[in-house]
Amino acid sequence: MASSPVGVPSPQPSRANGNINLGPSANPNARPTDFDFLKVIGKGNYGKVLLAKRKSDGAFYAVKVLQKKSILKNKEQNHIMAERNVLLKNVRHPFLVGLRYSFQTPEKLYFVLDYVNGGELFFHLQRERRFLEPRARFYTAEVASAIGYLHSLNIIYRDLKPENILLDCQGHVVLTDFGLCKECVEPEETTSTFCGTPEYLAPEVLRKEPYDRAVDWWCLGAVLYEMLHGLPPFFNTDVAQMYENILHQPLQIPGGRTVAACDLLQGLLHKDQRQRLGSKEDFLDIKNHMFFSPINWDDLYHKRLTPPFNPNVEGPADLKHFDPEFTQEAVSKSIGCTPDTVASQFWGFKCIPWIFLCTG
Protein backbone atom coordinates (compact mmCIF):
# COMPACT_ATOMS: atom_id res chain seq x y z
CA MET A 1 0.00 0.00 0.00
CA ALA A 2 1.22 3.49 -0.75
CA SER A 3 2.44 5.67 2.08
CA SER A 4 0.22 8.28 3.67
CA PRO A 5 0.30 11.77 2.12
CA VAL A 6 3.06 14.03 3.37
CA GLY A 7 3.60 17.74 3.74
CA VAL A 8 -0.01 18.87 3.78
CA PRO A 9 -0.67 22.61 4.18
CA SER A 10 -0.88 24.09 7.68
CA PRO A 11 -3.45 26.91 7.67
CA GLN A 12 -3.72 29.45 10.43
CA PRO A 13 -7.22 29.40 11.98
CA SER A 14 -8.92 32.47 13.34
CA ARG A 15 -9.11 32.70 17.10
CA ALA A 16 -11.55 34.39 19.44
CA ASN A 17 -11.14 34.41 23.23
CA GLY A 18 -8.49 31.70 22.91
CA ASN A 19 -10.82 29.33 21.05
CA ILE A 20 -10.79 28.32 17.42
CA ASN A 21 -13.77 29.86 15.64
CA LEU A 22 -14.34 29.04 12.00
CA GLY A 23 -17.69 30.73 11.65
CA PRO A 24 -21.37 29.80 11.62
CA SER A 25 -23.17 27.00 9.81
CA ALA A 26 -26.31 28.34 8.21
CA ASN A 27 -28.36 25.19 7.59
CA PRO A 28 -29.02 22.64 10.35
CA ASN A 29 -31.68 20.70 8.40
CA ALA A 30 -29.61 17.63 7.52
CA ARG A 31 -28.75 15.39 10.47
CA PRO A 32 -26.98 12.08 11.13
CA THR A 33 -30.31 10.57 12.15
CA ASP A 34 -31.40 10.88 8.50
CA PHE A 35 -29.33 7.74 7.83
CA ASP A 36 -28.87 4.16 8.88
CA PHE A 37 -25.10 3.65 9.00
CA LEU A 38 -24.51 0.06 7.90
CA LYS A 39 -20.81 -0.66 7.43
CA VAL A 40 -17.38 0.93 7.68
CA ILE A 41 -15.93 0.89 4.15
CA GLY A 42 -12.85 3.08 4.59
CA LYS A 43 -10.69 4.91 7.11
CA GLY A 44 -8.45 7.96 7.06
CA ASN A 45 -6.42 10.17 9.36
CA TYR A 46 -9.43 12.14 10.63
CA GLY A 47 -12.40 9.82 10.35
CA LYS A 48 -14.16 7.05 8.45
CA VAL A 49 -16.21 6.40 5.35
CA LEU A 50 -19.43 4.48 5.93
CA LEU A 51 -22.03 2.85 3.76
CA ALA A 52 -25.27 4.58 4.73
CA LYS A 53 -28.89 4.18 3.73
CA ARG A 54 -31.03 7.30 3.78
CA LYS A 55 -34.23 6.60 5.67
CA SER A 56 -36.46 8.87 3.60
CA ASP A 57 -35.95 7.10 0.26
CA GLY A 58 -33.76 4.04 0.85
CA ALA A 59 -30.92 5.45 -1.29
CA PHE A 60 -27.37 4.32 -0.53
CA TYR A 61 -24.48 6.73 -0.07
CA ALA A 62 -20.90 6.74 1.10
CA VAL A 63 -20.78 9.14 4.03
CA LYS A 64 -17.38 10.49 5.01
CA VAL A 65 -17.44 11.34 8.72
CA LEU A 66 -14.59 13.50 10.03
CA GLN A 67 -13.72 14.34 13.61
CA LYS A 68 -13.46 18.10 14.11
CA LYS A 69 -11.19 17.66 17.12
CA SER A 70 -8.57 15.83 15.07
CA ILE A 71 -8.81 18.30 12.20
CA LEU A 72 -8.40 21.31 14.47
CA LYS A 73 -5.60 19.71 16.46
CA ASN A 74 -3.60 19.23 13.27
CA LYS A 75 -4.61 22.62 11.83
CA GLU A 76 -6.07 21.07 8.69
CA GLN A 77 -9.45 22.79 8.54
CA ASN A 78 -8.53 24.71 5.37
CA HIS A 79 -7.50 21.40 3.92
CA ILE A 80 -10.93 19.88 4.57
CA MET A 81 -12.72 22.94 3.25
CA ALA A 82 -10.63 22.80 0.08
CA GLU A 83 -11.81 19.21 -0.44
CA ARG A 84 -15.42 20.30 -0.05
CA ASN A 85 -14.93 23.24 -2.43
CA VAL A 86 -13.45 20.99 -5.09
CA LEU A 87 -16.26 18.47 -4.67
CA LEU A 88 -18.80 21.22 -5.24
CA LYS A 89 -17.16 22.11 -8.56
CA ASN A 90 -16.84 18.57 -9.89
CA VAL A 91 -20.39 17.24 -10.04
CA ARG A 92 -20.58 17.32 -13.83
CA HIS A 93 -17.69 15.03 -14.69
CA PRO A 94 -18.34 11.29 -15.16
CA PHE A 95 -15.07 10.15 -13.58
CA LEU A 96 -15.12 12.26 -10.41
CA VAL A 97 -17.01 11.27 -7.29
CA GLY A 98 -20.08 13.43 -6.65
CA LEU A 99 -20.93 15.27 -3.43
CA ARG A 100 -24.67 15.22 -2.73
CA TYR A 101 -24.50 17.53 0.28
CA SER A 102 -22.57 18.17 3.49
CA PHE A 103 -23.51 19.03 7.06
CA GLN A 104 -22.05 19.15 10.55
CA THR A 105 -22.67 18.55 14.24
CA PRO A 106 -20.61 20.06 17.09
CA GLU A 107 -18.17 17.13 16.91
CA LYS A 108 -18.23 15.92 13.32
CA LEU A 109 -18.36 16.87 9.63
CA TYR A 110 -20.34 14.76 7.17
CA PHE A 111 -19.78 14.49 3.39
CA VAL A 112 -22.62 12.62 1.68
CA LEU A 113 -21.01 11.16 -1.45
CA ASP A 114 -21.92 8.87 -4.33
CA TYR A 115 -21.57 5.25 -3.25
CA VAL A 116 -19.03 3.42 -5.41
CA ASN A 117 -18.49 -0.29 -4.67
CA GLY A 118 -16.37 -1.69 -7.50
CA GLY A 119 -13.26 -1.45 -5.33
CA GLU A 120 -10.07 0.61 -5.32
CA LEU A 121 -7.81 0.23 -8.32
CA PHE A 122 -5.16 -0.58 -5.70
CA PHE A 123 -7.28 -3.52 -4.47
CA HIS A 124 -7.53 -5.04 -7.94
CA LEU A 125 -3.92 -4.34 -8.80
CA GLN A 126 -2.72 -6.04 -5.61
CA ARG A 127 -4.81 -9.08 -6.46
CA GLU A 128 -3.78 -9.33 -10.12
CA ARG A 129 -0.24 -7.90 -9.80
CA ARG A 130 -0.36 -6.09 -13.16
CA PHE A 131 -2.71 -5.32 -16.02
CA LEU A 132 -2.40 -5.88 -19.75
CA GLU A 133 -1.95 -2.72 -21.83
CA PRO A 134 -5.55 -2.42 -23.09
CA ARG A 135 -6.90 -2.44 -19.54
CA ALA A 136 -4.22 -0.04 -18.29
CA ARG A 137 -4.92 2.25 -21.26
CA PHE A 138 -8.64 2.37 -20.47
CA TYR A 139 -8.11 3.34 -16.82
CA THR A 140 -5.36 5.82 -17.68
CA ALA A 141 -7.58 7.50 -20.28
CA GLU A 142 -10.50 7.90 -17.86
CA VAL A 143 -8.20 9.24 -15.13
CA ALA A 144 -6.55 11.63 -17.60
CA SER A 145 -9.99 12.91 -18.61
CA ALA A 146 -10.79 13.64 -14.95
CA ILE A 147 -7.42 15.32 -14.31
CA GLY A 148 -7.81 17.38 -17.48
CA TYR A 149 -11.19 18.57 -16.25
CA LEU A 150 -9.76 19.57 -12.87
CA HIS A 151 -7.03 21.51 -14.67
CA SER A 152 -9.69 23.30 -16.73
CA LEU A 153 -11.06 24.53 -13.39
CA ASN A 154 -7.54 25.68 -12.38
CA ILE A 155 -7.25 22.87 -9.82
CA ILE A 156 -4.11 20.75 -9.39
CA TYR A 157 -4.96 17.35 -7.90
CA ARG A 158 -1.52 16.49 -6.40
CA ASP A 159 -2.26 13.06 -4.91
CA LEU A 160 -2.98 10.68 -7.78
CA LYS A 161 -2.40 7.05 -6.74
CA PRO A 162 -4.24 3.73 -7.09
CA GLU A 163 -5.84 4.10 -3.64
CA ASN A 164 -7.65 7.25 -4.80
CA ILE A 165 -8.98 5.65 -7.99
CA LEU A 166 -12.20 3.68 -7.48
CA LEU A 167 -14.17 1.53 -9.91
CA ASP A 168 -17.94 1.85 -10.11
CA CYS A 169 -20.27 -1.13 -10.42
CA GLN A 170 -19.72 -1.22 -14.21
CA GLY A 171 -15.94 -0.89 -14.05
CA HIS A 172 -15.52 2.81 -14.88
CA VAL A 173 -13.04 4.95 -12.98
CA VAL A 174 -14.17 7.29 -10.17
CA LEU A 175 -11.49 9.63 -8.81
CA THR A 176 -11.92 10.51 -5.15
CA ASP A 177 -10.20 12.23 -2.18
CA PHE A 178 -9.53 15.88 -3.02
CA GLY A 179 -7.83 16.81 0.24
CA LEU A 180 -4.50 17.80 -1.34
CA CYS A 181 -5.98 19.75 -4.25
CA LYS A 182 -4.71 23.24 -4.92
CA GLU A 183 -7.34 25.63 -6.22
CA CYS A 184 -7.06 28.80 -8.31
CA VAL A 185 -3.81 27.96 -10.12
CA GLU A 186 -3.88 29.62 -13.53
CA PRO A 187 -2.17 27.81 -16.46
CA GLU A 188 1.03 29.86 -16.20
CA GLU A 189 1.11 29.97 -12.40
CA THR A 190 2.92 27.72 -9.93
CA THR A 191 2.60 26.61 -6.32
CA SER A 192 5.24 25.30 -3.94
CA THR A 193 3.66 23.33 -1.08
CA PHE A 194 5.50 20.10 -0.36
CA CYS A 195 2.71 17.53 -0.43
CA GLY A 196 1.70 14.24 -2.00
CA THR A 197 2.41 10.55 -1.39
CA PRO A 198 6.10 9.52 -1.35
CA GLU A 199 5.98 6.87 -4.10
CA TYR A 200 4.39 9.32 -6.55
CA LEU A 201 6.15 12.61 -5.76
CA ALA A 202 7.49 14.44 -8.81
CA PRO A 203 11.15 15.54 -8.83
CA GLU A 204 10.27 19.24 -8.72
CA VAL A 205 8.23 18.67 -5.55
CA LEU A 206 11.12 16.81 -3.92
CA ARG A 207 13.48 19.63 -4.91
CA LYS A 208 11.02 22.06 -3.26
CA GLU A 209 10.85 24.07 -6.47
CA PRO A 210 7.76 25.92 -7.73
CA TYR A 211 5.64 23.48 -9.73
CA ASP A 212 2.62 23.62 -11.99
CA ARG A 213 -0.11 21.26 -13.19
CA ALA A 214 2.49 19.06 -14.94
CA VAL A 215 2.98 17.48 -11.51
CA ASP A 216 -0.29 15.58 -12.08
CA TRP A 217 0.98 14.13 -15.36
CA TRP A 218 4.04 12.77 -13.56
CA CYS A 219 1.69 11.04 -11.13
CA LEU A 220 -0.36 9.67 -14.02
CA GLY A 221 2.83 8.21 -15.46
CA ALA A 222 3.69 6.63 -12.11
CA VAL A 223 0.23 5.06 -11.85
CA LEU A 224 0.39 3.75 -15.43
CA TYR A 225 3.84 2.28 -14.75
CA GLU A 226 2.50 0.57 -11.63
CA MET A 227 -0.45 -0.86 -13.52
CA LEU A 228 1.88 -2.33 -16.15
CA HIS A 229 4.73 -3.47 -13.90
CA GLY A 230 3.30 -4.00 -10.42
CA LEU A 231 5.27 -1.32 -8.54
CA PRO A 232 5.75 2.46 -8.85
CA PRO A 233 8.64 3.37 -11.18
CA PHE A 234 11.29 4.33 -8.61
CA PHE A 235 10.05 2.31 -5.67
CA ASN A 236 12.31 1.39 -2.77
CA THR A 237 11.39 0.37 0.76
CA ASP A 238 13.94 2.93 1.96
CA VAL A 239 12.13 6.22 1.42
CA ALA A 240 15.36 8.24 1.29
CA GLN A 241 16.69 5.95 -1.43
CA MET A 242 13.37 6.16 -3.27
CA TYR A 243 13.63 9.95 -3.28
CA GLU A 244 17.16 9.65 -4.59
CA ASN A 245 15.89 7.35 -7.35
CA ILE A 246 13.13 9.78 -8.32
CA LEU A 247 15.61 12.64 -8.52
CA HIS A 248 18.53 10.92 -10.24
CA GLN A 249 17.83 7.34 -11.35
CA PRO A 250 17.10 6.88 -15.08
CA LEU A 251 13.68 5.40 -15.78
CA GLN A 252 13.93 1.63 -16.25
CA ILE A 253 11.15 0.09 -18.35
CA PRO A 254 11.08 -3.73 -18.33
CA GLY A 255 10.73 -5.48 -21.67
CA GLY A 256 7.50 -6.68 -23.23
CA ARG A 257 5.88 -3.27 -23.64
CA THR A 258 4.80 -1.67 -26.89
CA VAL A 259 6.74 1.25 -28.33
CA ALA A 260 3.73 3.48 -27.64
CA ALA A 261 3.58 2.50 -23.96
CA CYS A 262 7.31 3.04 -23.47
CA ASP A 263 7.17 6.42 -25.21
CA LEU A 264 4.23 7.55 -23.06
CA LEU A 265 5.97 6.50 -19.85
CA GLN A 266 9.15 8.30 -20.90
CA GLY A 267 7.13 11.42 -21.69
CA LEU A 268 5.06 11.47 -18.49
CA LEU A 269 8.00 10.55 -16.23
CA HIS A 270 10.40 13.13 -17.63
CA LYS A 271 12.27 14.61 -14.66
CA ASP A 272 12.23 18.12 -16.19
CA GLN A 273 8.68 19.40 -15.78
CA ARG A 274 9.21 21.81 -18.68
CA GLN A 275 9.88 18.88 -21.02
CA ARG A 276 7.25 16.55 -19.58
CA LEU A 277 4.35 15.39 -21.71
CA GLY A 278 1.45 17.66 -20.74
CA SER A 279 3.65 20.69 -20.02
CA LYS A 280 2.71 22.40 -23.31
CA GLU A 281 -0.97 21.79 -24.06
CA ASP A 282 -1.90 19.96 -20.85
CA PHE A 283 -4.59 17.28 -21.40
CA LEU A 284 -4.46 17.77 -25.17
CA ASP A 285 -0.87 16.48 -25.18
CA ILE A 286 -2.05 13.31 -23.46
CA LYS A 287 -5.07 12.78 -25.71
CA ASN A 288 -2.96 13.07 -28.84
CA HIS A 289 -0.30 10.55 -27.79
CA MET A 290 -0.15 7.42 -29.95
CA PHE A 291 -0.70 5.16 -26.93
CA PHE A 292 -4.31 6.40 -26.89
CA SER A 293 -4.94 6.05 -30.63
CA PRO A 294 -7.47 3.21 -29.99
CA ILE A 295 -9.49 5.53 -27.73
CA ASN A 296 -12.46 7.52 -29.00
CA TRP A 297 -12.41 10.26 -26.39
CA ASP A 298 -16.01 11.35 -26.92
CA ASP A 299 -17.22 7.78 -26.45
CA LEU A 300 -14.97 7.45 -23.40
CA TYR A 301 -16.40 10.58 -21.78
CA HIS A 302 -19.98 9.45 -22.35
CA LYS A 303 -19.22 5.93 -21.06
CA ARG A 304 -20.02 4.34 -24.39
CA LEU A 305 -16.87 2.19 -24.17
CA THR A 306 -17.23 -1.16 -22.42
CA PRO A 307 -14.87 -1.38 -19.42
CA PRO A 308 -12.29 -4.17 -19.71
CA PHE A 309 -13.21 -5.51 -16.28
CA ASN A 310 -16.62 -5.90 -14.64
CA PRO A 311 -16.56 -5.91 -10.80
CA ASN A 312 -19.76 -8.04 -10.85
CA VAL A 313 -21.29 -6.49 -7.77
CA GLU A 314 -24.76 -7.71 -6.83
CA GLY A 315 -26.11 -4.44 -5.47
CA PRO A 316 -25.23 -1.91 -2.76
CA ALA A 317 -24.93 -4.56 -0.06
CA ASP A 318 -22.17 -6.36 -2.01
CA LEU A 319 -18.97 -5.41 -0.18
CA LYS A 320 -16.62 -8.02 -1.66
CA HIS A 321 -14.32 -5.35 -3.11
CA PHE A 322 -13.82 -3.60 0.25
CA ASP A 323 -11.09 -4.57 2.69
CA PRO A 324 -12.53 -6.82 5.44
CA GLU A 325 -10.32 -4.87 7.86
CA PHE A 326 -12.87 -2.07 7.42
CA THR A 327 -16.15 -3.89 6.85
CA GLN A 328 -15.75 -6.14 9.91
CA GLU A 329 -15.32 -3.13 12.20
CA ALA A 330 -18.32 -2.26 14.33
CA VAL A 331 -20.10 0.99 13.45
CA SER A 332 -19.92 3.41 16.37
CA LYS A 333 -23.34 4.42 17.64
CA SER A 334 -22.15 8.03 17.95
CA ILE A 335 -21.85 8.25 14.13
CA GLY A 336 -25.62 8.40 13.74
CA CYS A 337 -26.47 10.53 16.78
CA THR A 338 -27.64 14.11 16.51
CA PRO A 339 -26.66 16.25 19.54
CA ASP A 340 -29.24 18.56 21.06
CA THR A 341 -27.42 21.62 19.75
CA VAL A 342 -25.79 21.92 16.36
CA ALA A 343 -22.95 24.33 17.07
CA SER A 344 -20.82 25.43 14.19
CA GLN A 345 -17.05 25.57 14.00
CA PHE A 346 -16.37 25.39 10.29
CA TRP A 347 -16.98 28.52 8.27
CA GLY A 348 -19.20 27.84 5.27
CA PHE A 349 -19.64 24.13 6.04
CA LYS A 350 -23.38 23.92 5.70
CA CYS A 351 -25.97 21.70 4.14
CA ILE A 352 -25.72 21.93 0.35
CA PRO A 353 -28.83 20.48 -1.32
CA TRP A 354 -28.25 18.45 -4.52
CA ILE A 355 -30.65 20.69 -6.46
CA PHE A 356 -28.38 23.64 -5.65
CA LEU A 357 -25.35 21.75 -6.93
CA CYS A 358 -27.02 21.06 -10.24
CA THR A 359 -28.07 24.64 -10.85
CA GLY A 360 -25.28 26.65 -9.21
Give pLDDT, residue 74. 80
Q: For residues 143 and 208, give the distance between their C-alpha atoms in angstroms, rounded to a whole number.
A: 26
Do the Cβ atoms of 130 and 227 come closer than 8 Å?
yes
Active site residues: 159
Give pLDDT, residue 9. 40
Give pLDDT, residue 18. 30
Give pLDDT, residue 1. 52
Per the annotation, binding residues for ATP are: 73
Do the Cβ atoms of 104 and 32 come closer than 8 Å?
no
Give pLDDT, residue 280. 96
Give pLDDT, residue 316. 87
Ranges in the chain, pLDDT < 70: 1-28, 90-91, 338-360
Give pLDDT, residue 92. 78
Do the Cβ atoms of 201 and 247 come closer than 8 Å?
no
Give pLDDT, residue 144. 98
pLDDT in tens, 185-222: 998 898 988 888 999 999 999 999 999 999 999 999 99
Give pLDDT, residue 23. 35
The residue count of the chain comes to 360
pLDDT in tens, 92-124: 799 999 888 888 888 888 989 999 999 999 999
Longest CA–CA separation in the chain, Å = 65
Structural domains of the chain in order of their starting residue, each with its CATH number: 15-116+315-359 (3.30.200.20), 121-301 (1.10.510.10)
Distance, first Cα to last Cα, the chain:
38
Q: What is the mean pLDDT of the chain?
A: 85
